[in-house]
Amino acid sequence: MITKVLVANRGEIAVRVMQAATELGIDTVAVYSDADETAKHVRRADEAVHVGSSVAGKSYLDQESLLEAASETGADAIHPGYGFLAESESFARRVEDSEFIWIGPPADAMADFGEKTKARAIMADAGVPIVPGTDEPIDDPERVKAFGDEHGYPVAIKADGGGGGRGLKVVDTPEEAEEAFKNAKREGEAYFDNDAVYVERFLENPRHIEVQVIGDEHGNVRHLYERDCSVQRRQQKLIEETPSPVLDEETREELCESARSGVAEAGYSNAGTVEFLYEDGEFYFLEVNARIQVEHTVTEAVTGIDIVKEQFRVAAGEELSFEQHEVETRGAAMEFRINAEDPYNDFSPTPGTLETYRPPTGMGVRVDDGVNQDDRISPFYDSLVGKFIVTAQDRTEVLERSKRALEETDIEGISTTIPFHLAVLEDDAFVDSEHTTKYLDEQFEGLDEA
C-alpha cells in the first residue's frame, strides 16, 4: 500500500498526479527549483522540498537530489509524470533498486522500447505491422542509399534512442544521405546520449494515431482505444482528439488490439502509449512511449477511467480494476495545449506573469493547469500553461463547444496559442478531418495578422 508519493515533476502534470493521489488517500510531496518556489504544484502538495537551481539539470533532472527528498520526507513511492526523468531507464532502475515504489513502467520495459530498433523487433515478432526499415542500427550512409534504392525515396534516418522529431532526418535523394546521416547521429548523441541511427521508409502524408494501454504485474493488459494526434508542428503535438475521425470500426479494433497484444507479449506493465502512422487504410507501428502521456486526458474523458489512479494501483501490486470488455467509449473529446507562445511570431516563447487568468468553464470543459492568476511562466521550462479538454456527444459538437471555451478564456500578460487553436477550428481541412501530420505546413491557411 502506498501512503506517500513524491512527484518528481512540476507544472500541470504534477498537480494532476497529486489530485489522483489525494483521492486515493495518499499524501503528496512536491519538489521545486529556485524558479518554482511559489508554483501551483508546490502550493498544492502536502509537503515540498527544494531540490536545486532553476536549471533543470540541477534540480528536476538531479536524480540524487530527488531520491534524497523522497527519503527525508518518508515517501514510499515516486511518480515521474512525463518529461524530465519519466523515461529515464537509469532513474527507474535506481528507484526499483531502492526502498521506493516506482510508479511507471519497469526499467526493463524502458530499455526494450527506448531503443527503436529493439522496439520494432519486439512488435514485429508479436505480429504488429511495422514500417519497412532496418532491424538494427546502421553505421554507414551507404546503407541509407542502398535502402533508398530498394524501397524508394524519401526515406527517414532516425535516432535509435529518439523521439519528438529529434534525430529525425528525411532524405529525398542519394546525394543527401551522407549529410543527413551525420546530422541524425549528432542529434542522437546530443539529445539522447546515443548516436545510433536506423533507416525506414518515410510515409509522406500519414495520420498520427496512438493507442493508450495499461498493464499490471499479473499479466493483464488492456487498451483504452485510440487518439488522433495529427495536428503537429515540428513533430510536437498541439491538438489531440478521440475517437480518430478517419478509422472505421473494424480498423479501430484491429489497431487497438495490435497495440494491446504487442505490449502484452513484451510483459509490459503500468501506463504506456503505442504510436502508429496511418496512411491509405494501413497502419504501421512507430514507437512505444513508456510513461503517462500529455494527452491521456481525452481518453479519460470518453472512457471514464482515471489512468493515473490505475498507475498507482498497478504500482502497489493490484490487478487492473476493469476487464477489456468493460472498456467503452462515449462521445468525443479534444485537448488543446495552451502554450505561452506567440503564434504570430513563429510560436516564439513568451514567458511572463499571468496578469489575468480566467480559463473556460461550463459543461464538457476540463482544465488541467499548473498555474493561477499572478503566477509567472518561467523561461527555464516548457511553455505549457495548461490543457483545455472539451467533451461532447460527437465531433461536431466538440468543435462548437471548443470555440466557445477558447473564446471565453481571458489571459493577459503573455501571448498564448489560443488564436492558433481558434483558427484551426475554422479551417476546412481540420473541420472535414482531411488533415495529416503535414497539415500545418501544407494545408492550414494560417492566422490572420494580429
Whether omega for the bond prior to residue 206 falls within 30 degrees of 0, making it cis, is no
DSSP state for residue 253 in the 8-state scheme: H
Output the pLDDT for position 424: 97
Cell 545510433 appears where?
196
User: How do 155-163 and 197-201 pair as beta strands?
Assistant: antiparallel
CATH number of the structural domain 132-201: 3.30.1490.20
CATH 3.30.420.40 at 4-103, yes or no: no
Amino acid 213 reads: V
Q: Do 4-103 and 132-201 agree at the fold level?
A: no
How do residues 46-90 score in pLDDT, each as one tens digit?
Answer: 999 999 999 999 999 999 999 999 999 999 999 999 999 999 999
The residue type at 436: T
| Dist CA 301 CA 332 (whole Å) | 8
- Report the alpha-carbon distance of residue 438 to residue 317 in Å, rounded: 42
Tell me the residue type at 193: D
pLDDT, position 450: 46
How many other CB atoms are there within 10 angstroms of residue 190's CB atom?
12
Return the residue matching grid coordinates 531507464.
89
pLDDT of res. 448: 73
φ, ψ at 386 (rounded to 5°): 180, 180
Mutual orientation of helices 307-315 and 11-23 as an angle, nearest 10°?
70
pLDDT digits (tens, 9 = 90+) for 429-444: 999 999 999 999 888 9
C-alpha span between 205 and 214 (Å, rounded): 29
Q: Is the pTM higher than 0.95?
A: no
DSSP output for 103-125? -SS-HHHHHHHHSHHHHHHHHHH
- Let me know: does 438 contact 232? Beta carbons within 8 Å: no
- Residue 378 to residue 373: CA distance in whole angstroms: 14
Residue 301 confidence (pLDDT): 98
- d(CA 238, CA 334) in angstroms, rounded, equals 11
Cα-Cα-Cα-Cα dihedral sign, residues 223, 336, 311, 103: positive
Q: Which three cell numbers stand for residue 227?
A: 487518439
Distance CA 114, CA 128 (A): 17
Query: How far is 160 from 167, CA to CA, in rounded Å?
Result: 8
Q: Exposure pattern of 264-300 as b/e (b: 16+ CB <10 Å)? A: bebebbbbbbbbbbbeeeebbbbbbbbbbbbbbbbbb
Give the residue among 211, 212, 226, 198 at the shortest CA–CA distance from 131.
198
CATH code of the domain made up of 207-442: 3.30.470.20
| Closest C-alpha to 77, from 264, 305, 270, 288 | 270
- Single-letter residue type at 23: E
Residues 262 and 74: their CA atoms lie apart, in Å, by 37
Residues of the chain with pLDDT under 50: 450
Q: Where are the domains of the chain?
A: 4-103, 132-201, 207-442
Copy the grid coordinates of residue 66: 530527488
